[in-house]
Structure 1
Amino acid sequence: MRNSIEFEVYGQYALFTDPLTKLGGEKLSYQVPTYQAMKGIVESVYWKPSIMIVVDEIRVMNPIRMESKGIRPMEYGGGNTLANYTYLKDVRYQCRAHFIFNSHRPDLAYDWNENKHHSILKRSLRAGGRRDIFLGSRECQGYVEPCVFGEGKSYYDDRSGDIYLGTMVHGINYPDETGRSQMEIRLWNPVMKNGIIRFIPPEECTLVRKVSDMEPKHFGSDNVDSVEELFTQLGEGVNP
């Protein structure tokens, strides 16, 4: 597939929170990452508003195990609450993703340079990402490195049959990705086959609910500096 990357992400703990468990403060992780969580990981490797990341599939490498911990959440108004969080433990996933140009941002069409973005994305992946990698929540540090999707032994390779994971959050629709002036939540019903989950594209999700009104972020000369201006400010000039 064009503009695709394949990588492995791993960490000691992960918390892909089931939103139903947030209200009482006792957070419980989904059994597998959501589409939005994997998209966020790729965007931590490299992100530009002129492109959109599409996650194609993931491969669960390690057995799904959970561990509960007593956590004292940060309370800015004071207090000393003890909460119970249930994390995924010793996680490792292979992921295949690609990017497309954001057709809802024609104001950024000047940046639709396929080779440039693909090269930077692969270079950033080899460097471990441009920003910190988190597995669902900030206290769960993750690490990424390039791989060949399908290589290596997965715990679920020899376990035939489909695993139905119920209704899960697929991701969030933002105005600059849909052209609609609202934020929406997407739901779907994933199935894991021999450790592999193939994500449907966001536009194919039929369970979509509006969360709130929202306007797309504006990018222009008032909040974005051109490369030429940055080089001029540094006094380095611009190479022809």
Structure 2
Amino acid sequence: MRNSIMFKVYGRMALFTDPLTRIGGEKASYAVPTYQALKGIVESIYWKPTIIWYIDEVRVMNEIRTQSRAIKRRKYEKDGNELSFYQYLSEVCYEVKAHFEFNMHRPDLAADRNENKHWQIAKRMVERGGRRDVFLGTRECQGYVEPVKYGKEKGFYDESGKMPLGVMFHGFNYPDESGKDTLEVRLWQAVMENGILRFPRPEACKLVRIIRKGVAPKEFGIQDITSVEKESNGIESEISGGGAYELDSTAHRDV
């Protein structure tokens, strides 16, 4: 497919938490990455408001191991315990399949819909390790990205069969992607089969709850972003020896 990428992401630690319960003092990671966390990683590799990334599946390559650490939090009160215990995943490695589709709720960006050039840039950014810093769930968990031939390497759970993981956080429905004026949360019944999590599309999730109403989509106009043609030409010029090209990083969102 000319709109899909495959890559490996790995790191020393990861913390994939349920955002609905992470406001407490102590946090514990899911056993596997969430759809939203993987989407954030892909958007750190390459993203523009013209496209929406969809995570197809992820392979868990290493054994699932946890490690607890005492974290000294910011002190907002004079009294009380300053230490919290976070449970991280240790020495993680995942293979990810993802693809993008055009955001049809942004007709003002129709001029930027060039599938082949978006795909070429995305592949180049995978080779470079991402456009922005990659984090495995939280900022203190640095991640590293590189290209991979999906399914070629042996994974720890390749012959483990089906492993039900219960109800997990899937992701958020943002107004600029859903076309609604609400912020919604999605949940799903996660099952890992032979080390692979196959994610349903966001619209296929049946467990959806509204978090906030009256949320306006983010404002991006065609004049606010560098066109995909200009970015693609800049990369081609750099490859051919025309000098380094600085990719546009102004059009991004918090993930």
TM-score computed with the length of structure 2 as normaliser: 0.84
Gap regions ≥5 residues in structure 1? 231-240
- Residue aligned with 2:37, SS: helix
Whether the aligned pair in 2 keeps the contact of 1:71 and 1:83 (CA below 8 Å) is yes
CA deviation after TM superposition for structure 1 residue 225, in Å: 5.8
Whether the aligned pair in 2 keeps the contact of 1:18 and 1:27 (CA below 8 Å) is no
CA deviation after TM superposition for structure 1 residue 81, in Å: 1.3
CA deviation after TM superposition for structure 1 residue 73, in Å: 1.9
CA deviation after TM superposition for structure 1 residue 21, in Å: 4.3
2:110 paired with 1:99: no
Gap regions ≥5 residues in structure 2? 231-255
Query: Which whole-Å CA distance do the structure 2 matches of 1:143 and 1:76 have between them?
Result: 34
Query: Which whole-Å CA distance do the structure 1 matches of 2:22 and 2:51 have between them?
Result: 31
Query: Which whole-Å CA distance do the structure 2 matches of 1:203 and 1:186 have between them?
Result: 9
Correspondences of 1:29-68 after superposition (within 5 Å) = 29-68=29-68
Superimposed CA distance per residue, residues 117-160 of structure 1 (whole angstroms, 9 cap, x where no aligned partner) = 0010000110000000000000000000000110111001132x
**Partner residue, 1:17:** 17
Query: Which whole-Å CA distance do the structure 2 matches of 1:111 and 1:119 have between them?
Result: 14
Whether the aligned pair in 2 keeps the contact of 1:186 and 1:208 (CA below 8 Å) is yes
**Partner residue, 1:90:** 91
**Partner residue, 1:153:** 154
Q: Which amino acid letter does the alignment assign opposite residue 151 of structure 2?
A: G
TM-score computed with the length of structure 1 as normaliser: 0.89
Whether the aligned pair in 1 keeps the contact of 2:61 and 2:156 (CA below 8 Å) is yes
Correspondences of 1:124-139 after superposition (within 5 Å) = 124-139=125-140
Query: Which whole-Å CA distance do the structure 2 matches of 1:149 and 1:78 have between them?
Result: 52
Whether the aligned pair in 1 keeps the contact of 2:35 and 2:170 (CA below 8 Å) is yes
Query: Which whole-Å CA distance do the structure 1 matches of 2:25 and 2:109 have between them?
Result: 41
CA deviation after TM superposition for structure 1 residue 19, in Å: 3.8
**Partner residue, 1:235:** none
**Partner residue, 1:209:** 209
Superimposed CA distance per residue, residues 18-49 of structure 1 (whole angstroms, 9 cap, x where no aligned partner) = 34642431101000000000000000000100
Whether the aligned pair in 1 keeps the contact of 2:2 and 2:115 (CA below 8 Å) is no
Q: Which amino acid letter does the alignment assign opposite residue 131 of structure 1?
A: R
CA deviation after TM superposition for structure 1 residue 78, in Å: 7.0
Whether the aligned pair in 2 keeps the contact of 1:17 and 1:29 (CA below 8 Å) is yes
C-alpha RMSD of the superposition: 1.8
Change (3 A) 1:109 1:82: same
Whether the aligned pair in 2 keeps the contact of 1:29 and 1:87 (CA below 8 Å) is yes
Change (3 A) 1:226 1:91: closer
CA deviation after TM superposition for structure 1 residue 205, in Å: 0.4
Query: Which whole-Å CA distance do the structure 2 matches of 1:35 and 1:78 have between them?
Result: 38
Identical amino acids, percent of aligned pairs: 58
2:146 paired with 1:172: no
Change (3 A) 1:25 1:125: same
Whether the aligned pair in 2 keeps the contact of 1:21 and 1:28 (CA below 8 Å) is no
Q: Which amino acid letter does the alignment assign opposite residue 138 of structure 1?
A: R
- Residue aligned with 2:166, SS: coil
Whether the aligned pair in 2 keeps the contact of 1:50 and 1:105 (CA below 8 Å) is yes
Query: Which whole-Å CA distance do the structure 1 matches of 2:224 and 2:78 have between them?
Result: 39
- Residue aligned with 1:190, SS: strand
CA deviation after TM superposition for structure 1 residue 218, in Å: 1.6
- Residue aligned with 1:88, SS: strand
- Residue aligned with 2:98, SS: strand
Superimposed CA distance per residue, residues 157-185 of structure 1 (whole angstroms, 9 cap, x where no aligned partner) = 132x2100000100000001000011100
Whether the aligned pair in 1 keeps the contact of 2:184 and 2:212 (CA below 8 Å) is yes
Whether the aligned pair in 1 keeps the contact of 2:2 and 2:119 (CA below 8 Å) is no
Query: Which whole-Å CA distance do the structure 1 matches of 2:177 and 2:5 have between them?
Result: 21
Query: Which whole-Å CA distance do the structure 1 matches of 2:121 and 2:9 have between them?
Result: 19
Query: Which whole-Å CA distance do the structure 2 matches of 1:177 and 1:93 have between them?
Result: 26
**Partner residue, 1:8:** 8
Whether the aligned pair in 1 keeps the contact of 2:9 and 2:95 (CA below 8 Å) is yes
